[in-house]
């Protein structure tokens, strides 16, 4: 029984607008009697004039019946009267995607229009096998709203299942194979190019070092000590026994 109550509370939650988004304090009158947030698309009970979000009211009536939660009278709903509607329309608030980075602010109507295209909206990958969420601004495949090339191809295949013939399936997978083949070839070519460039650099380095050694060997072959070796030191240059000669031949 307790689980049933919990599930109902969860179903009603978060239909309204969070009070923290508003730039000014909101009067208690504009708080939904179901979700306890600022009403979204407000409707008023004709008996007590307490407000409900339209979405909250529809869910409440479906589950609990057409009885006002506050006054217990039959729940008949009307749009706001002119004066409270005027106050409601003048509220200013931040976009609901504030915590995701959006800093847009405006009236409730402006926010309603903005949220439809807000690039900071959190969306679910449309691939039914994927559970990833990401911001709209980070979506590469806007048409299908998927998170990756793999999911993009999966959704394309999903879309043709059940409404196309086998020829279309074959064509689609043929295109996938061609795409992966091209991608693999490009990857191999890039890696081969990098390896070739690295090999050329190494070869050039070895050739330069070999040439330096050859020059040093040539110089050593044509240099001698013209003094005497006394106690392992040459008298001509005071260098050690196995040092390079000091006089050209």
| Same-domain pairing of 13 and 85 | yes
Domain boundary at 77, 94, 111, which? 94
- State the pLDDT at residue 173: 65
Higher pLDDT, 105 or 139: 105
Q: Is residue 139 part of a domain?
A: yes
Q: Indicate the pLDDT class of residue 7, thresholds 50, 70 and 90.
A: very low
Mean of the pLDDT values across residues 60-67?
90
Higher pLDDT, 27 or 195: 27
pTM attached to this predicted model:
0.56
Q: Indicate the pLDDT class of residue 57, thresholds 50, 70 and 90.
A: very high
The total of structural domains in the chain comes to 2
Q: Which residues on adjacent β-strands are paired with residue 53?
A: 42
Higher pLDDT, 233 or 116: 116
Distance CA 144, CA 139 (A): 9
Q: Is residue 23 part of a domain?
A: yes
Tens digits of residue pLDDT in 172-184: 766 776 787 788 8
Handedness of CA 102, 118, 43, 62 (dihedral sign): negative
Q: Reply yes or no on whether the pLDDT at 222 is more than 70.
A: no
| Same-domain pairing of 66 and 138 | no
**How close are the terminal C-alpha atoms of the chain, in Å?**
109
Say if CB 91 and CB 22 are below 8 A apart: yes
What would you measure as the largest C-alpha separation in the chain, in angstroms? 125
Q: Reply yes or no on whether the pLDDT at 191 is more than 60.
A: yes
CATH number, residue 66:
3.30.40.10
Q: Is residue 117 part of a domain?
A: no
| Same-domain pairing of 77 and 29 | yes
Distance CA 211, CA 221 (A): 15
User: And the tokens for 232?
Assistant: 């392992």
Q: Is residue 243 part of a domain?
A: no
Instruction: Give me the percent of the chain exceeding a pLDDT of 70.
Output: 85
| Same-domain pairing of 151 and 81 | no
Question: Which of 25-29, 147-151, 186-190, 229-233: highest mean pLDDT?
Answer: 25-29
Q: Is residue 81 part of a domain?
A: yes
Mean of the pLDDT values across residues 70-94?
93
The domain in which residue 155 lies consists of 122-160
- State the pLDDT at residue 176: 75
Distance CA 210, CA 204 (A): 10
Q: Is residue 209 part of a domain?
A: no
Q: Is residue 213 part of a domain?
A: no
Q: Is residue 175 part of a domain?
A: no
């Amino acid at each position: 029984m307790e689980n049933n109550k919990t599930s109902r509370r969860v179903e009603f939650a978060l239909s309204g607008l969070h009070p923290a988004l508003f730039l000014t304090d909101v009067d208690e009158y504009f708080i939904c009697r179901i979700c306890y947030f600022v009403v979204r698309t407000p409707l008023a009970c004709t008996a007590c004039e307490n407000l409900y979000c339209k979405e909250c009211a529809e869910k409440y009536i479906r589950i609990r019946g057409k009885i006002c939660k506050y006054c217990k009278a039959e729940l008949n709903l009307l749009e706001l009267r002119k004066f409270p509607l005027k106050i409601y329309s003048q509220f200013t608030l931040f976009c609901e995607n504030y915590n995701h980075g959006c800093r847009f602010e405006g009236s409730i109507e402006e926010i309603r229009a903005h949220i439809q295209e807000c690039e900071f909206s959190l969306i679910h990958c449309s691939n039914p096998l994927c559970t990833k969420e990401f911001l709209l601004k980070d979506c590469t495949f806007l048409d299908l709203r998927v998170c990756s090339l793999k999911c993009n191809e999966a959704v394309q295949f999903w879309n043709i299942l059940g409404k196309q013939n086998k020829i279309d399936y074959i064509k689609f997978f043929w295109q996938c194979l061609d795409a992966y083949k091209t991608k693999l070839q490009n990857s191999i070519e890039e890696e081969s190019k990098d390896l070739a460039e690295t090999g050329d650099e190494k070869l050039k380095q070895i050739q330069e070092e070999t040439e330096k050694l050859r020059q040093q060997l040539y110089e050593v072959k044509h240099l001698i000590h013209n003094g005497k070796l006394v106690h392992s030191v040459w008298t001509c240059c005071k260098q050690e026994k196995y040092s390079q000669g000091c006089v050209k031949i």
